[in-house]
Amino acid sequence: MSMATTQVAQPMTGEQLDLLCINTIRTLSIDAVQAANSGHPGTPMALAPLVYTIWNRVMRFDPQDPIWPNRDRFVLSNGHASMLLWSVLHLTKTQAVNAEYESLGQPAVTLDDIRRFRQLDSRAPGHPEYHWTSGVEATTGPLGQGVANSVGMAIAQKWLAARYNRPGFDVFDYNTYAVCGDGCMMEGISSEAASLAGHLGLDNLCWVYDNNHITIEGNTRITFTEDIAARFLGYGWNVLRVGDANDVDRIQQALEIFQKTTGRPTFIILDSHIGYGSPHRQDTAEAHGEPLGEEEIRLTKRFYGWPENAKFLVPGGVYERFAAGIGARGAEAREEWTKLFEAYRKAYPELAAEVDQIERRELPAGWDRNLPSFPADAKGMAGRDASGKVLNVLAQNIPWFLGGSGDLGPSNRTLLTYEGAGNLEPDTPGGKTVHFGIREHSMAAIVNGLSLSKIRAFGATFFIFSDYMRPAIRLSAIMELPTVFVFTHDAMGDGEDGPTHQPVEQLASLRAVPGLVVIRPADANEVVEAYRYVMQLRHEPAVLALSRQPLPTLDRSKYAPASGVVKGAYVLADAPGGNPEVILIASGSEVTLAVNAHETLLGEGIRSRVVSMPSWDIFEHQSQEYRDSVLPPAVKARVAIEQASTFGWAQYVGDAGRIIGMKTFGASAPLKELQKKFGFEPDRVVAVAKEVLGRK
C-alpha cells in the first residue's frame, strides 16, 4: 500500500509523515515539469529530502510574514530546480507581500500556479524570481550567482549585528542557507565568493552541495574531478559530508553542526543520485533537463508508493505537517523577535528607527546634507576624486551605506576614510569599507546580496572590468535592486595602459540593459548630482562611469546648473536667444570639448547649443515635451561626441548628424596623443559641426 493511501486508514508516524511530505514535493515537481513539457525534474526529486529538512525542521522562517527582518535566508543557487521552491512555498502556505511590504492576504504560490509552472503570469516561473514571488530571496538561474549572493547576505547579517545588536538584544542573528550543484561549483564566481567568505569567517553561512555527478553532458568525470572537500578546506570552511541524500536525520545533524560552528562557514557535501526514484532512471543526464514522460512518471510514482494516475496530489496531513513544523516554529520565533524589538525600540529608539528605514529602503533625514559644491576651476578635478569626496559624506549621513572595490580602493577613491568608518574584516564586521579583493564577478553578486538584505551597497573597479561583472549587474536590474556600481577610468584617461584598459563598447553595452541607470558625469558637480539622483532610487541599479583624469569644473554662473543631471540631459550652453542651428551633444570628459567648440562657433557667428547628456536612460524617461525642448526636432544639424563606441548615438543625431566616437579599440600612448589620433579635439568638433551645416 502507498503512503498516500494508507494515511486515511491508520495514523501515520512522524517518519511516515516526513516521507509523505518529501514525496509530495517530488511528485508536484514531476507533474509540473510534465505539464509544462519543460524543466528539470531530476534535481527536485533528489533534493526533496534536503529541502524538506531545511524548511520544516531547521530554518527560522514564518510563512505568514516572509519578510520578517530576522528570518533565515534560503537561496536556491541551482535555480533550474525551482520546483523545489515552489513546492515548499505552496505547502508552507507562505503569504504574498507587495512592493510596499504589505501582506496581500493570499498565498505566494497556489496549486494552480504550480499547475501552470513556467507559463505566463504564473507565480511559479522557470527559475526563482525575486520580487515576483514572495519567499524568493534572490533571482537565480545563472549558476554560481546564488551562492555569491548568499555571501552578501551573510556579510549583511554580520554588519547589521555589529551595528544594531546590544547586550540582551540580539536583533539580528539569522543564518543563510544556499543549495548548489556541480554547475555552481564549476563556475568561477563560486570560488571567488567562497574564498572571501572563508577569509571573513562567515559562520552564519551554510552551503549544501548536491554531489550527484551529473550535468547536461553526462557524468562529471569528463570535466570535474577535483577534490572539492580539500578545495573548501583550503578556503577555510568547515566541511561535512552526508552520504545519503535521503537520510533526513543525518541531514539535520549536519545542519545542527553548522549552527554550532564558529569562525568558519560550513560546506556540506550531500551525495545524491539525480532523478532518485525509478531505479533505472538514476545517473542519467536526461533526468536532469527533460520531462520524464507519462510512462516513466507512472513507474516513478509506483516506486514512491504513490497513486500512479494522480496529478498534483497533496495528500491529507501534508499541509498540517508543515504547519506544525516551520509554521509553528517560525511564528513563535517571529513573535519572540517582535517582542524583543518592541523592548529594543524603547531602549534604543534611534537605532530602531534606522532598522525601520532600512527595511523600507528609505533614507534618513538630511542624507544629502553637506554634499560638496565645487567652484569653477579650469584645472578641475577627476570624476573619481569628486566621487570619493561624495562617498565619504554619504557614508557618514547614511549609516547603512557601505561598499568597496575589487582591490582598487586607492585608485577608485572608494576608501571610506572618515573617523570611525573602519574596514569590514573578520574582527570588525561593522566596518564600512569592504575589501573584495580581485574578485570583480563575485563582488557584484555580493553587492547584490547586500542589497537583497536592504543595505545600500556599492562596488567599484575600472570601467573596463565591468565586463567581468556583467552577469551580476544584469541580475541586479532584473531583481530591481538599488545597487550602485562605481566605475573609474571611463575612457582613455589611463592612455599608456593601452586598449586592454580603455573601455570602448562598455557604455553602449550597459546602456542596453533594461532598467539599469547609466550615468557618465561631465565634471565634479555633475558627479554630486549623479549621486543625489542615484541614492533616491529604490528599484533600479545604477552605474557611474567616472574619469581618471581631471576634468575642468564648469562655471555654473555662466553655464546651466548641474542639477540638470536629474533629467538625464540638459541644455548646458546655448546660442543667444536659444535658437540654435547646430547642437553638440556629449557626455563625461567630452562635454568640456563640446563647450570649447561651442565658444569657437559662437565667435564665428554660428549659433550652437551644448547638451550635456550624462544618462540616456534618465533622459528617455522624461516627457516628450522636455526632450523636444532639449533636442528640438527641427534642428537636424547635430554632432555627438563621446570617447566610446558610436553604437546607439544615431537615435540622437539622426541621418543628418555626425558622431565623433570610437570605431576601433584604443592604443597605448599619452592621453593628449590619443585625443589627437582619434579626433577628440575642439578643432575637429568645430570642423564636423560646420560640415553638418554645409559650411566650410
Mind telling me the catalytic residues? 440
**Count of CB atoms situated within 10 Å of the CB of 60:** 18
The DSSP code for 576 is: G
Closest CA to 568 of 515, 621, 524: 621
Closest CA to 49 of 238, 254, 204, 203: 254
Cell triple for 70 = 530576522
End-to-end CA distance of the chain: 94
Closest CA to 147 of 182, 184, 183: 184
Cell triple for 585 = 551633444
Secondary structure E strands in 40-163: 73-76, 95-97, 103-107
| Residue where the block lists cell 553602449 | 508
Cell triple for 545 = 562611469
C-beta separation of 495 from 507 below 8 A: no
Answer left, alpha or beta for residue 433, where phi above 0 means left and psi between -120 and 50 means alpha: beta
Which residues, including other chains, have CB under 8 Å from residue 442's CB and lie 6 or more apart?
148, 151, 189, 192, 193, 196, 436
Closest CA to 441 of 403, 418, 474: 474
| Residue where the block lists cell 528539470 | 40
Which residues, including other chains, have CB under 8 Å from residue 83's CB and lie 6 or more apart?
28, 29, 32, 33, 39, 40, 41, 44, 114, 117, 124
Residue 267 amino acid letter: F
Cell triple for 455 = 543595505
Cell triple for 493 = 584617461
Name residue 270's beta-bridge partners.
210, 242
Distance separating alpha carbons of residues 607 and 577, to the nearest angstrom: 9
**Cα–Cα separations (whole angstroms), residue 505 to 103, 304, 641, 644, 651:** 44, 54, 15, 6, 17
